[in-house]
Structure 1
Amino acid sequence: MTDTTTSPASVNTVLGPVSAHDLGIVAVHEALLSVVPGAQFAPDITMDRAEIFAVLSDKLNDFRQAGGRTIVDSTGMFHGRDLPLYETLSRTTGVHIIASTGMGPEENLGGYFLTPQTNPPTPWPAEKFADLFSREVTDGMVVPRLERRAAAGLVTTTAARDGMTPTEESLFRGAARTAAATGVPVSIRYGADALADLDIVLDEKIPAGRVLVGGLDRKDAAGVALEVARRGAFVGIDHVGTDDEDHLNDAERAALVMELVTAGFAGRIVLSSNAIGVAKGHQDSRVSFAHVLTTFIPQLKSQGLTEADAGRILIDNPRELLTVR
């Protein structure tokens, strides 16, 4: 079992704690292996581990060659997370991999987490989620029925697009309590109202600087990114490369980044692509892990982003967010 003890100014990776100053350029919200819960049992879905390893290895090597050093798998506990696979990938590619605990939205939870053995059935309370997630940081992440491995590097959770359910509020509060108890950050994927969802997390008395609010390049988040930054949380512009009816395109994202920088919030921005290395049971994103570095940063620099601010966004901000405190 990998050592889960953490030294000062360190970050939890799948191979154990590393110095926060060794992270380099970080992609803060990606998915290595993304599996819709249950798809691994479908007769029409192949789960060839050698093939999955080969595909992910190639994509991580491309990311490393583009200048990337660390990638965060922000899928949580039950959406394909494969710790032995990620350990081998990290060793062979030289890319630091940070895995996450947490879960959500409610529609992706198994029945056990929705209706535990109570009469009448009731959703899990926040303290049960907090205990579950916190143990994945303090004791190591679970490989089902085998063992615990390295400590989770962050706790992540998601709300339904049409509004947070009571179970999802328990998830958010449990995630925030985990962050407060263990020192890892919390990454939230907001539902219908980013500021209201952020308020729920902050109500658990964690500093705003320990929170990443993702998905703020959604079209329904117009004007929200500046307010999230004003409150001190990190702004996740994390679908870079996606161009669909729900999200800004890269030209609009670039304008949003420059608006934040001009307003003095370069120190609150993190970028990522929500790229998927291998998808099972759903559509691949078709965006590479390297897209931010090879395409989007040059686009921002052409609009006046300085080298100093680029370094702050790609290196300093993720380091500040991910350092265990």
Structure 2
Amino acid sequence: MSKTVNTVLGPVAVEDLGKTLMHEHFFFGYPGFYGNSLYPVDKDEILRASIETASKVKAHGVKTIVDATPNDTGRDPELLKLIAEKTGLNIICSTGYYYEGEGAPAYFKFKQALGTAEEEIYEMYMRELTEGIGDTGIKAGVIKLGSGKDRITEYERMFFKVAAKVQQETGVTIITHTQEGTMGPEQAELLVSEGADPKRILIGHMDGNTDLRYHIRTLEHGVYVGFDRFGIQGFVGAPMDSDRIGVLLGLIGAGYAEQLMMSHDKVNVWLGKSPEFPAELGSLVTNWHMTHIFENIIPVLKERGVSEDQINTILVQNPKQIFGGNEA
């Protein structure tokens, strides 16, 4: 029987996922955006911008996008479903909470103090993965986790531990946020030590770190590593794309192509008032869009000797595998 993954339009065979961007955001808002009544959520604008972006990525052969927006940052499964219906893209929705420093930790920290947080997180994951989110009937297809810079807090650790347990019971794929590319090996070690399958884990934003040895320490746990912030460079601890390419080439040359993913972490529409980047930063994020990899990164990789088969492995085969492709 063919393996399937939950999309917002229902289960899709992993063989049909095709070229996949594993970490993007059709819309995203930092917790608290909803408190500014001057900037209500404009679903029509989100739909317009999403259709425009979908047209561009589909022109490069993209069939599937994993929307990595956590529950506390404006996730809206019904809006994602509408985008999927209008664009023909496979969209995979997430369940999970953002990392403590930029998420909405008060609710579960209160429950943590009462000793009931892990039970409730487990209940939330399982319901959203197997029955649907709220009363929408739309099932999440991945668990999204995150940790802050240079440490995994006790609050964040709860979500990792419960995610590992839920993965053992459901086989769900886990994707993560590392802040500025820190704590990658530690995230992998924690999840695997709690019983998670490394072949179903993507440690995200690792391209925030340019230490080749650090990447290899993470990869040695058997997990996938995400070079998934292409286009964000020169601020918030993000290296330049040219440096990321150098590390990526080093890992491909060392034989790790079958454990790598590429994406952008692009926020297509900001919830609340859109951020206004200072002039000196504006030029650095000119290429932060969902076709940057195809237009600017892959051509450089090919010039430097990366084959079409290796590109296909990173963008097609690895996403298929992390969702259970070729499993018995």
State TM-score, norm by structure 1: 0.89
2:128 maps to 136
Match of 1:63 in 2: 57
Is 1:81 equivalent to 2:60 in the alignment? no
Q: CA deviation at 1:112?
A: 2.2
Q: Secondary structure at the match of 2:20?
A: strand
* Equivalence for 1:3: none
Aligned to 1:183: 171
What displacement does 1:222 show? 5.2
**What is the deviation of 1:270?**
0.3
Counterpart code for 2:144? T
Q: Which residue of 1 aligns with 2:29?
A: 35
Q: CA deviation at 1:125?
A: 4.1
Number of equivalences: 312
Q: Deviations over 1:197-252 (max 9, x none)?
A: 22111111122111111111113765321222222100111111121141222221
Superimposed CA distance per residue, residues 38-67 of structure 1 (whole angstroms, 9 cap, x where no aligned partner): 212312323221112111111111111122
In structure 1, the partner of 2:139 is: 151
Letter in 1 for 2:110: T
- What secondary structure, in the 3-state scheme, does the structure 2 residue paired with 1:46 have? coil
Aligned 8 A contact 1:75 1:81 in 2: yes
Q: Secondary structure of 1:212's match?
A: strand
SS across alignment from 1:70: strand
| Seq. identity, % | 27
Q: Is the 8 A contact 2:187 2:203 kept in 1?
A: no
Q: Distance in 2 between matches of 1:141 and 1:151?
A: 6
| In structure 1, C-alpha distance between the alignment counterparts of 2:119 and 2:199, rounded to whole Å | 22
Counterpart for residue 252 of structure 1: 243
| 2:226 is the counterpart of 1:225 | no
1:152-171 counterparts in 2 under 5 A? 152-171=140-159
Q: 1:272 aligns with which of 234, 258, 263?
A: 263
**2:302 alignment counterpart:** 301
In the aligned structure 2, how far is the partner of 1:131 from the partner of 1:203?
22
Q: Secondary structure of the equivalent of 2:122?
A: helix
Q: Which amino acid aligns with 2:83?
A: L
Match of 2:26, SS state, is strand
Distance apart, 1:189 and its partner CA:
1.9
1:194 aligns with 2:194: no
Name structure 1 gaps, 5 residues minimum.
Answer: 1-6
What SS class does the counterpart of residue 265 from structure 2 fall into? Answer: coil
1:212 aligned residue: 202
Any gaps of 5 or more consecutive residues in structure 2?
A: 277-284
Compared CA separation, residues 124 and 251, structure 1 to 2 (3 A) = farther
Give me the whole-angstrom Cα distance separating, in 2, the residues matched to 1:124 and 1:44: 36
The corresponding residue for 2:92 is: 98
CA contact (8 A) 2:14 2:320 kept: yes
From the superposition, tell whether residues 151 and 123 of structure 1 become closer, same or farther in structure 2 (CA, over 3 Å). Answer: same
Q: Take 1:127 and 1:248, find their aligned partners in 2: how far apart are those partners?
A: 38
Q: Tell me the TM-score normalised to structure 2 length.
A: 0.89
Paired residue secondary structure (2:188): helix
Structure 1: 4+ residue segments shifted above 6 A? none
RMSD: 2.1
Aligned letter for 1:266?
A: A
Partner of 1:4: none
CA separation of 1:91/1:323 partners in 2, compared to 1, >3 Å: closer, same or farther? farther
The alignment partner of 1:278 has SS state of coil
Describe the superposition over 1:280-317 as per-residue Cα deviations: whole angstroms up to 9, x where unpaired: 24638762111112221111111111011010000000
- Cα distance between partner residues in 2 of 1:320 and 1:41: 41
Moved more, 285-294 or 174-183: 285-294
How far, CA to CA, are the matches of 2:310 and 2:300 in structure 1? 14
